[in-house]
Structure 1
Amino acid sequence: MASTTSGDVLPTGGRIFTTVPDIFFLPEFVFGGLVWILVASTLVTPPNPLGWVMFVSVFCFVGTTLWFFIFLCGGNQASIWPSLDVGFHFLAVVFYLSASVDLAYMTIITGQALPFFNLPENLKIYRLDIAAVVMSYVATLLYFLHAIFSAIRWKRS
């Protein structure tokens, strides 16, 4: 009977670019970074909900960067790493979903006030907010898929 060891559960080095859950690292970087950039480039009104969106996008971007380099350097070979992988990506899904809902709500509020303040810069900010909402939901989907496939890999280990 063959048994798996913790050394062959998670990929290291260049193999992370070919395994199913880990291939989502790069799109998570791109879309998470776009959320960060788009929200940072708009008028932050009111600051509290959009501050949460900024926190989530920066937290997940930095966390994904650290996670990526840990996987790339091979520091993920202990038996706890598959469950940590699932936990981190599940937390990212919950954070991004709450941030996406907040951002969508604030964008709707901005859109309802747009006819009263029909300035070209307000329309530009509104369009940037719409793009940020779309990118935020795409990032949520990517983190969700990564969490699901990581959970499947964790269950197999």
Structure 2
Amino acid sequence: MDSTTPGISALPRGLGVFTTLPDIFFIPELVFGGLVWILVASTKVLLANPQGWVMFVSVFCFVFTFLWFLLFMIGVNQSSPVWSSLDVAYHGIAALFYLSASVAQSSATIALQDNSSTFKSYQEDIAAVVFSYIATLLYVIHVLFSAFRWKAS
């Protein structure tokens, strides 16, 4: 016998998004992703610099995480059982994207260490690396708990 009540989804909606374990990571993901976006946008970019990918990932993940968060808040995720697997897929892709962006930002920061025109610019690059790895960790934790929820449903 199934332990869940028929018609009730394991996915939260409304304010329940702020109380369920994987979904409480939406806000920190938005905060740290936004910080990466701001810091990379404010740094000096050279021609042979992979920070374009970092900028794409931070903007893409910020926008889609915000939209995903809104969909959960308004309860669209209650309409179909496929939302659990979509949640795992999106956060898995976001985690992989952020991991690759974090490595690219680290590489760019190391390469620009001697070419930095100002110490402030180098500090912004270092902060972007740190926040990018924190965002990666948040997305990895989110996808793990989303996968546990998907498997249980």
Q: Please give the range of the TM-score, normalised by the shorter of the 2 chains.
A: over 0.9
Partner of 1:40: 41
Give the total of aligned pairs: 151
2:97 is aligned, of 95, 98, 104, to 95
How far 1:45 sits from its partner (Å)? 1.7
In structure 1, stretches of 5+ residues that fail to align are none
Moved over 4 A (4+): none
Q: Give me the whole-angstrom Cα distance separating, in 2, the residues matched to 1:22 and 1:76.
A: 13
Deviations 1:2-55 (A, max 9, x none): 353463210000011000000000000100000000000111123651110000
1:102 to 1:14, Cα distance in 2 relative to 1, 3 A: same
Instruction: Give % identity.
Output: 60
Letter in 1 for 2:72: F
Tell me whether 1:138 sits opposite 2:134 in the alignment.
yes
Letter in 2 for 1:129: D
Contact 1:6 1:79 survives alignment (8 Å)? no
Q: Give me the whole-angstrom Cα distance separating, in 2, the residues matched to 1:6 and 1:33.
A: 36
The alignment yields a C-alpha RMSD, in angstroms, of 1.4
In structure 2, stretches of 5+ residues that fail to align are none
Deviations 1:41-85 (A, max 9, x none): 111123651110000000000010000000000000110000000
